[in-house]
Amino acid sequence: MKRLEDLIRSTRKNLQSAGISEYLLEAELIWMKALNLDRANLYLEFNESPNVRFIEYAAGLVSRRMKREPLAYILGKIEFFGKEFNVKPGVLIPRQDTETVVEEAIKILDDYGSTSTTIFDVGCGSGIIGISLAIRYPHARIFSIDSNLQACILTKQNAEKLGVGSQLQVVQSDLFTAINCGADLIIANLPYIPTSDIESLEPEVRVFEPRAALDGGIDGFSVTKRMLTQSSGLIKSGGAILLELSPELTDIAKNQIMEVFPNSIFATQRDLSGQIRVAIYTLPKLASDYKY
Protein backbone atom coordinates (compact mmCIF):
# COMPACT_ATOMS: atom_id res chain seq x y z
CA MET A 1 0.00 0.00 0.00
CA LYS A 2 1.42 3.35 -1.05
CA ARG A 3 1.63 6.28 1.34
CA LEU A 4 -0.20 9.47 0.37
CA GLU A 5 3.08 11.37 0.12
CA ASP A 6 4.36 8.89 -2.49
CA LEU A 7 1.09 9.01 -4.41
CA ILE A 8 1.27 12.81 -4.56
CA ARG A 9 4.89 12.61 -5.70
CA SER A 10 3.95 10.32 -8.58
CA THR A 11 1.00 12.62 -9.50
CA ARG A 12 3.46 15.53 -9.71
CA LYS A 13 5.65 13.55 -12.09
CA ASN A 14 2.67 12.63 -14.29
CA LEU A 15 1.44 16.21 -14.47
CA GLN A 16 4.93 17.51 -15.20
CA SER A 17 5.32 15.00 -18.04
CA ALA A 18 2.02 16.27 -19.52
CA GLY A 19 3.46 19.79 -19.63
CA ILE A 20 1.51 21.25 -16.70
CA SER A 21 3.66 24.09 -15.38
CA GLU A 22 1.95 24.33 -11.96
CA TYR A 23 2.32 20.58 -11.34
CA LEU A 24 3.41 20.95 -7.69
CA LEU A 25 0.34 22.92 -6.63
CA GLU A 26 -2.07 21.09 -8.91
CA ALA A 27 -1.05 17.63 -7.61
CA GLU A 28 -2.00 18.74 -4.10
CA LEU A 29 -5.28 20.34 -5.24
CA ILE A 30 -6.29 17.16 -7.06
CA TRP A 31 -5.58 15.03 -4.00
CA MET A 32 -7.40 17.52 -1.75
CA LYS A 33 -10.43 17.12 -4.03
CA ALA A 34 -10.11 13.30 -4.17
CA LEU A 35 -9.86 12.93 -0.39
CA ASN A 36 -12.12 15.91 0.44
CA LEU A 37 -9.42 17.44 2.66
CA ASP A 38 -8.10 20.97 3.12
CA ARG A 39 -4.36 21.53 2.69
CA ALA A 40 -3.50 21.28 6.41
CA ASN A 41 -5.26 17.92 6.74
CA LEU A 42 -3.73 16.66 3.50
CA TYR A 43 -0.27 17.15 5.03
CA LEU A 44 -1.37 15.43 8.25
CA GLU A 45 -2.37 12.36 6.19
CA PHE A 46 0.96 12.09 4.33
CA ASN A 47 2.01 8.87 6.09
CA GLU A 48 -1.40 7.19 5.70
CA SER A 49 -2.34 4.87 2.82
CA PRO A 50 -5.62 5.96 1.19
CA ASN A 51 -8.30 3.39 0.44
CA VAL A 52 -8.19 1.99 -3.12
CA ARG A 53 -11.52 3.71 -3.96
CA PHE A 54 -9.92 7.13 -3.36
CA ILE A 55 -6.81 6.15 -5.31
CA GLU A 56 -8.95 5.18 -8.33
CA TYR A 57 -10.96 8.40 -8.07
CA ALA A 58 -7.76 10.49 -7.94
CA ALA A 59 -6.33 8.55 -10.91
CA GLY A 60 -9.42 9.56 -12.94
CA LEU A 61 -8.92 13.23 -12.03
CA VAL A 62 -5.21 13.08 -12.88
CA SER A 63 -5.92 11.45 -16.23
CA ARG A 64 -8.41 14.25 -17.11
CA ARG A 65 -5.80 16.87 -16.23
CA MET A 66 -3.11 15.06 -18.24
CA LYS A 67 -5.41 15.44 -21.27
CA ARG A 68 -5.18 19.19 -20.49
CA GLU A 69 -8.75 19.61 -19.21
CA PRO A 70 -8.65 22.83 -17.14
CA LEU A 71 -8.15 22.26 -13.42
CA ALA A 72 -11.17 24.44 -12.57
CA TYR A 73 -13.50 22.05 -14.46
CA ILE A 74 -11.97 19.10 -12.60
CA LEU A 75 -12.27 20.77 -9.18
CA GLY A 76 -15.73 22.16 -10.09
CA LYS A 77 -15.19 25.50 -8.39
CA ILE A 78 -13.20 28.71 -8.49
CA GLU A 79 -12.82 31.78 -6.31
CA PHE A 80 -13.88 35.15 -7.74
CA PHE A 81 -14.12 38.44 -5.88
CA GLY A 82 -13.81 36.63 -2.54
CA LYS A 83 -16.60 34.09 -3.15
CA GLU A 84 -16.60 30.50 -4.32
CA PHE A 85 -18.44 29.92 -7.60
CA ASN A 86 -19.31 26.56 -9.17
CA VAL A 87 -17.88 26.01 -12.65
CA LYS A 88 -18.89 23.39 -15.21
CA PRO A 89 -17.69 22.24 -18.62
CA GLY A 90 -19.69 24.06 -21.30
CA VAL A 91 -19.41 27.43 -19.52
CA LEU A 92 -16.36 29.74 -19.56
CA ILE A 93 -14.13 29.57 -16.48
CA PRO A 94 -14.02 33.00 -14.76
CA ARG A 95 -10.70 34.86 -15.11
CA GLN A 96 -9.11 37.03 -12.46
CA ASP A 97 -8.92 39.94 -14.96
CA THR A 98 -12.69 40.24 -14.75
CA GLU A 99 -12.37 41.39 -11.12
CA THR A 100 -11.22 44.74 -12.61
CA VAL A 101 -14.61 45.02 -14.36
CA VAL A 102 -16.41 44.46 -11.05
CA GLU A 103 -14.20 47.05 -9.31
CA GLU A 104 -15.02 49.63 -12.01
CA ALA A 105 -18.74 48.85 -11.72
CA ILE A 106 -18.52 49.42 -7.96
CA LYS A 107 -16.90 52.85 -8.48
CA ILE A 108 -19.71 53.83 -10.87
CA LEU A 109 -22.50 52.48 -8.66
CA ASP A 110 -21.10 54.14 -5.52
CA ASP A 111 -21.11 57.49 -7.38
CA TYR A 112 -24.48 56.90 -8.98
CA GLY A 113 -26.47 57.70 -5.86
CA SER A 114 -29.60 55.64 -6.53
CA THR A 115 -30.00 52.47 -4.49
CA SER A 116 -32.47 50.82 -6.85
CA THR A 117 -30.42 50.61 -10.02
CA THR A 118 -31.06 48.18 -12.83
CA ILE A 119 -27.97 46.34 -14.07
CA PHE A 120 -27.58 44.12 -17.12
CA ASP A 121 -24.76 41.53 -17.03
CA VAL A 122 -24.61 40.51 -20.71
CA GLY A 123 -22.77 37.27 -21.50
CA CYS A 124 -23.03 36.31 -17.82
CA GLY A 125 -21.32 32.87 -18.13
CA SER A 126 -21.21 31.46 -14.60
CA GLY A 127 -22.84 34.66 -13.28
CA ILE A 128 -19.79 36.10 -11.52
CA ILE A 129 -20.24 39.80 -12.39
CA GLY A 130 -23.96 40.15 -11.67
CA ILE A 131 -23.78 37.98 -8.55
CA SER A 132 -20.80 39.89 -7.10
CA LEU A 133 -22.76 43.13 -7.59
CA ALA A 134 -25.99 41.66 -6.20
CA ILE A 135 -24.15 40.70 -3.00
CA ARG A 136 -22.81 44.26 -2.62
CA TYR A 137 -25.98 46.12 -3.68
CA PRO A 138 -28.97 44.27 -2.20
CA HIS A 139 -31.46 46.78 -3.69
CA ALA A 140 -30.11 46.58 -7.23
CA ARG A 141 -32.15 44.70 -9.81
CA ILE A 142 -29.90 42.48 -11.90
CA PHE A 143 -30.57 40.83 -15.26
CA SER A 144 -28.00 38.12 -16.05
CA ILE A 145 -28.23 37.42 -19.76
CA ASP A 146 -26.61 34.68 -21.85
CA SER A 147 -27.48 32.90 -25.08
CA ASN A 148 -26.09 29.62 -23.68
CA LEU A 149 -28.65 27.63 -21.65
CA GLN A 150 -25.91 25.91 -19.60
CA ALA A 151 -24.57 29.33 -18.58
CA CYS A 152 -28.05 30.44 -17.50
CA ILE A 153 -28.54 27.27 -15.40
CA LEU A 154 -25.11 27.67 -13.76
CA THR A 155 -25.73 31.38 -13.03
CA LYS A 156 -29.01 30.50 -11.31
CA GLN A 157 -27.25 27.80 -9.24
CA ASN A 158 -24.45 30.17 -8.22
CA ALA A 159 -26.92 32.95 -7.34
CA GLU A 160 -28.85 30.57 -5.09
CA LYS A 161 -25.69 29.14 -3.52
CA LEU A 162 -24.51 32.68 -2.68
CA GLY A 163 -27.88 33.84 -1.34
CA VAL A 164 -28.96 36.28 -4.09
CA GLY A 165 -31.26 34.03 -6.13
CA SER A 166 -34.30 36.30 -5.73
CA GLN A 167 -32.38 39.42 -6.77
CA LEU A 168 -31.25 38.09 -10.11
CA GLN A 169 -33.35 37.51 -13.17
CA VAL A 170 -31.55 35.05 -15.42
CA VAL A 171 -32.60 35.41 -19.06
CA GLN A 172 -31.56 33.16 -21.94
CA SER A 173 -31.35 35.62 -24.81
CA ASP A 174 -29.29 36.59 -27.84
CA LEU A 175 -28.00 39.89 -26.39
CA PHE A 176 -31.09 42.03 -25.53
CA THR A 177 -33.61 40.30 -27.81
CA ALA A 178 -35.69 39.03 -24.88
CA ILE A 179 -35.26 42.16 -22.71
CA ASN A 180 -37.96 44.78 -22.54
CA CYS A 181 -36.81 47.27 -19.91
CA GLY A 182 -34.00 49.82 -19.56
CA ALA A 183 -30.80 49.74 -17.47
CA ASP A 184 -28.68 52.22 -15.52
CA LEU A 185 -25.56 50.12 -16.03
CA ILE A 186 -24.78 47.59 -18.76
CA ILE A 187 -21.77 45.33 -18.18
CA ALA A 188 -20.61 43.08 -20.98
CA ASN A 189 -17.86 40.51 -21.04
CA LEU A 190 -18.72 39.10 -24.45
CA PRO A 191 -16.34 36.98 -26.57
CA TYR A 192 -13.44 39.18 -27.72
CA ILE A 193 -10.79 36.92 -29.24
CA PRO A 194 -10.39 37.36 -33.02
CA THR A 195 -11.34 34.14 -34.85
CA SER A 196 -7.85 33.79 -36.35
CA ASP A 197 -6.25 33.76 -32.85
CA ILE A 198 -8.34 30.88 -31.49
CA GLU A 199 -6.09 28.14 -32.93
CA SER A 200 -3.04 29.53 -31.11
CA LEU A 201 -4.66 29.37 -27.66
CA GLU A 202 -3.52 26.88 -24.99
CA PRO A 203 -5.26 23.47 -25.33
CA GLU A 204 -7.05 24.02 -22.01
CA VAL A 205 -8.90 26.96 -23.59
CA ARG A 206 -9.03 25.95 -27.27
CA VAL A 207 -10.22 22.38 -26.75
CA PHE A 208 -12.23 22.56 -23.53
CA GLU A 209 -13.81 26.00 -23.19
CA PRO A 210 -16.90 26.84 -25.27
CA ARG A 211 -16.01 28.52 -28.56
CA ALA A 212 -19.09 30.77 -28.38
CA ALA A 213 -17.62 32.28 -25.21
CA LEU A 214 -14.30 33.08 -26.90
CA ASP A 215 -14.79 33.86 -30.59
CA GLY A 216 -15.39 37.57 -31.17
CA GLY A 217 -15.44 37.34 -34.98
CA ILE A 218 -12.92 38.71 -37.48
CA ASP A 219 -11.82 41.71 -35.38
CA GLY A 220 -12.80 40.35 -31.95
CA PHE A 221 -15.45 43.04 -31.59
CA SER A 222 -18.39 41.80 -33.67
CA VAL A 223 -20.63 40.55 -30.80
CA THR A 224 -19.79 43.57 -28.65
CA LYS A 225 -20.47 45.96 -31.53
CA ARG A 226 -23.91 44.43 -32.00
CA MET A 227 -24.53 44.74 -28.26
CA LEU A 228 -23.54 48.44 -28.29
CA THR A 229 -25.92 49.16 -31.16
CA GLN A 230 -28.78 47.42 -29.34
CA SER A 231 -27.99 49.13 -26.04
CA SER A 232 -28.64 52.63 -27.41
CA GLY A 233 -32.37 52.11 -26.91
CA LEU A 234 -31.99 50.55 -23.45
CA ILE A 235 -29.41 52.48 -21.47
CA LYS A 236 -30.85 55.34 -19.40
CA SER A 237 -29.42 58.86 -19.69
CA GLY A 238 -26.67 59.36 -17.12
CA GLY A 239 -26.01 55.62 -17.19
CA ALA A 240 -22.84 53.77 -18.15
CA ILE A 241 -21.65 50.81 -20.19
CA LEU A 242 -18.64 48.74 -19.11
CA LEU A 243 -16.90 46.35 -21.47
CA GLU A 244 -14.19 43.83 -20.78
CA LEU A 245 -11.76 43.83 -23.74
CA SER A 246 -8.20 43.17 -24.78
CA PRO A 247 -5.74 46.09 -25.13
CA GLU A 248 -5.77 45.61 -28.95
CA LEU A 249 -9.48 46.49 -29.05
CA THR A 250 -9.15 49.89 -27.35
CA ASP A 251 -9.19 51.93 -30.57
CA ILE A 252 -12.08 50.06 -32.11
CA ALA A 253 -14.04 50.44 -28.84
CA LYS A 254 -13.30 54.17 -28.78
CA ASN A 255 -14.32 54.67 -32.42
CA GLN A 256 -17.52 52.77 -31.87
CA ILE A 257 -18.61 55.27 -29.25
CA MET A 258 -18.60 58.03 -31.87
CA GLU A 259 -21.11 56.09 -33.89
CA VAL A 260 -23.48 54.92 -31.18
CA PHE A 261 -23.12 57.39 -28.31
CA PRO A 262 -21.59 60.57 -29.78
CA ASN A 263 -21.91 62.59 -26.54
CA SER A 264 -20.58 60.05 -24.10
CA ILE A 265 -17.27 60.09 -22.28
CA PHE A 266 -14.84 57.23 -23.00
CA ALA A 267 -12.26 55.95 -20.50
CA THR A 268 -10.26 52.78 -19.94
CA GLN A 269 -8.96 50.90 -16.93
CA ARG A 270 -6.00 48.53 -16.65
CA ASP A 271 -6.00 45.11 -14.97
CA LEU A 272 -3.55 43.95 -12.30
CA SER A 273 -0.94 43.07 -14.93
CA GLY A 274 -1.07 46.65 -16.30
CA GLN A 275 -2.97 45.81 -19.52
CA ILE A 276 -5.99 47.83 -20.63
CA ARG A 277 -8.88 45.55 -19.75
CA VAL A 278 -12.03 47.67 -19.34
CA ALA A 279 -13.71 50.28 -21.55
CA ILE A 280 -16.09 52.65 -19.80
CA TYR A 281 -18.70 54.71 -21.65
CA THR A 282 -20.48 57.27 -19.47
CA LEU A 283 -23.60 58.75 -21.01
CA PRO A 284 -24.59 62.37 -20.43
CA LYS A 285 -27.63 63.19 -18.34
CA LEU A 286 -30.40 64.76 -20.40
CA ALA A 287 -31.38 68.32 -19.42
CA SER A 288 -34.85 67.00 -18.55
CA ASP A 289 -33.27 64.72 -15.87
CA TYR A 290 -31.94 67.63 -13.80
CA LYS A 291 -34.00 69.17 -11.05
CA TYR A 292 -33.53 72.98 -11.12
Ligand X SMILES: C[S@@+](CC[C@H](N)C(=O)[O-])C[C@H]1O[C@@H](n2cnc3c(N)ncnc32)[C@H](O)[C@@H]1O
- Residues engaged in binding ligand X (CB under 6 A): 92, 94, 98, 123-126, 128-129, 145-148, 151, 174-175, 189-191, 212-213, 223
Shortest distance (Å) from residue 221 CB to ligand X: 13
For the sheet with 265-270, list strands across it: 168-172, 141-146, 118-122, 183-188, 235-244, 276-282, 265-270
User: Which among 169, 124, 168, 130 is positioned nearest to 146, based on CA atoms?
Assistant: 124
Q: Kindly tell me which of 30 and 159 has the beta carbon lying closer to ligand X.
A: 159
Shortest distance (Å) from residue 205 CB to ligand X: 11
Is the torsion defined by CA of 88, 92, 94, 96 positive or negative? positive
Residues 270, 277 contacting (CB under 8 angstroms): yes
Residue 211 DSSP code: G
Q: Kindly tell me which of 65 and 225 has the beta carbon lying closer to ligand X.
A: 225
Q: Kindly tell me which of 179 and 283 has the beta carbon lying closer to ligand X.
A: 179
Q: Kindly tell me which of 11 and 246 has the beta carbon lying closer to ligand X.
A: 246
Residue 196 DSSP code: G
Q: What DSSP element (H or E) covers 150?
A: helix 149-161
Residues 243, 210 contacting (CB under 8 angstroms): no
Cα–chain-centroid distance for residue 268? 19
Q: Kindly tell me which of 167 and 246 has the beta carbon lying closer to ligand X.
A: 246
Q: What DSSP element (H or E) covers 34?
A: helix 23-35
Cα(35)–Cα(83) distance, integer angstroms: 22
Phi-psi region of 274 (alpha: psi -120 to 50; beta: other; left: phi over 0): left
Shortest distance (Å) from residue 273 CB to ligand X: 17
Shortest distance (Å) from residue 30 CB to ligand X: 23
Strands, DSSP E only, in the chain?
A: 77-80, 83-86, 118-122, 141-146, 168-172, 183-188, 235-244, 265-270, 276-282
Shortest distance (Å) from residue 147 CB to ligand X: 4
Return the SS3 of 206. helix
Q: Kindly tell me which of 213 and 279 has the beta carbon lying closer to ligand X.
A: 213
Q: Kindly tell me which of 50 and 130 has the beta carbon lying closer to ligand X.
A: 130
Shortest distance (Å) from residue 179 CB to ligand X: 11
Q: Kindly tell me which of 16 and 222 has the beta carbon lying closer to ligand X.
A: 222
The span from the first CA to the last CA of the chain, in angstroms, equals 81
Shortest distance (Å) from residue 44 CB to ligand X: 35
Shortest distance (Å) from residue 89 CB to ligand X: 13
